[in-house]
Structures are given as structure tokens and as C-alpha cells.
Amino acid sequence: MTQLSVNINKIATLRNARGENRPNLLETALDIERFGAQGITVHPRPDERHIKRSDVLTLRPALHTEFNIEGYPSKAFMDLVVRVKPSQVTLVPDAPDAITSSAGWDVEANMEFLSEIVDTLREAGIRSSIFIDPVPAQVIAAAKAGADRVELYTKPYADRYPSNPEAAVAPYVEASRQARKSGLGVNAGHDLSLENLGFFAERVPFLNEVSIGHALICDALYLGLEETIKRYRKLLK
């Protein structure tokens, strides 16, 4: 069964709006685990506009499920993840001021850099995942870089799904099959939702994990967090 990792950046954004500790990020993360999520994802950015460095240090010893830290592999980011040793680090090519991820790596063009980062993660005992567009050539390059997994950028799928779901999912099916041939695990994330996740999970083979934050937290405003997680989990079974 595909694992659900919940990105809690938006919980931190809400907390930071008042400069206090409500909602309590750690308590919410533990509730998310208790409600059935199999992982927690955070994306600490240099400006700490949502997840703070201190959050990462607090979460790591308390969580019971997989901890996935996303980010651009700057020196500060790498120092943090090597210290914390999460289950997985997802490498994204975001600029420091990016609002959210908007494209995957050109792995071949960044091969030397990414290979060195992946080697560092492996030496620290951390699973590596490279965030890429659903292009077989990028999958092959990620395997060449030594990554353990790829995370397929799914916003193009989400954008195209309402008008042509079969065409929307086709590149992801091909990329996932290539990942399997290349010995890589497959994650996916960005704009997956209750509306489009079920179809994606049914069609894309070998899908290890999806990471979902924004849509899930939006749904929770209406459905409640526990019910929302149950619905996402049901779509992945």
C-alpha cells in the first residue's frame, strides 16, 4: 500500500501568524500520526516562514513514523539533516525565496553536485529522494546520481486531470516504470487532493509514498483532520 506522508508546513504557517504556539506543531504532528498517517514531511526554508530549524530538532525524537525533510541542499540544510538523521531527505531545486516547488531538478546538468549530496546522505544513513519531473531521462539520471528514490512532481497532473485524466497520468506511469527498471523507489507530491489522488494511485505502479500538505489541510478545515486523513488513506488502499 502507498504510504501517506503529511506535510505540516501549513500548520506552522498558521502558528507563526500569531507568533505564539497555537496550533502546537508537535501535538498536531503526533495527532496526524495517531489518525493514520505513515509519515510527517517538513520543508524548512532559510527564512523560517513556516517550519523553523527548532521545529525539526523537536520533531525528530518525538515522531513514531517516517520523517521526511524536504529542501534545497545548501550547507545549512545539509548540516541540519545530517545532525537530525530523518528517515528520508527529499532534494528540491527551489530558490530560497520560492513560494513553493515549481519544477524538478535537471539531474544530468547537476550530476556532480547531486551525486556528492546523495553520497553524504548515504554515509549518514539517510534515504535520499530527488524531486524530478516525470521524464524517464531524469529518472535514469537520478539513478546514476545514486539516489534511493525519486519524487515525481505532480502539479502538471493535477492541472490536467479535470479535462483529460488519462493523458494527465500517462507520463507518471512511464516514469514510475522506468524507476522500477532503474532500481529506484517512487514518491509523488504537489497538488494531489481528494479529487485526483485515487485515480493517480490506481494508475501509477510501484508508488511507495505520496506527500500531501496544502490540499489536505484545506480539506481538514471542513472535514476535520482525523476524517481527512482517513479519506486520503482510503484512496491509497
pLDDT at 103: 86
Dihedral angle, C-alpha 197, 199, 204, 207, nearest 10 °: 30
Mean pLDDT by 10 residues, the chain (237 residues): 97 94 97 98 94 97 98 97 98 74 89 98 98 98 98 98 98 98 98 98 98 97 98 97
Phi and psi angles of residue 87, each rounded to the nearest 5 degrees, phi first: -65, -40
Domain of 180 in residue numbering reads as: 3-236
**Contact call for residues 168 and 157 (beta carbons, < 8 A):** yes
Catalytic residues, by residue number, are 43, 70, 190
Q: What is the Cα–Cα distance from 126 to 87, expressed in whole angstroms?
A: 6
pLDDT at 143: 98
**Contact call for residues 124 and 117 (beta carbons, < 8 A):** no
pLDDT at 168: 98
pLDDT at 94: 79
Q: Which residues pair with 3 in a beta bridge?
A: 209
- Model pTM score: 0.95
Count the domains in the chain.
1
pLDDT at 96: 66
- CATH code assigned at 47: 3.20.20.70
Long-range contacts (CB closer than 8 Å, 24 or more residues apart) made by 87-90: 87/39, 87/126, 87/127, 88/126, 88/127, 88/128, 88/129, 88/149, 89/121, 89/126, 89/127, 89/128, 89/129, 90/41, 90/129, 90/130, 90/131, 90/151, 90/187, 90/211
**Contact call for residues 53 and 12 (beta carbons, < 8 A):** no
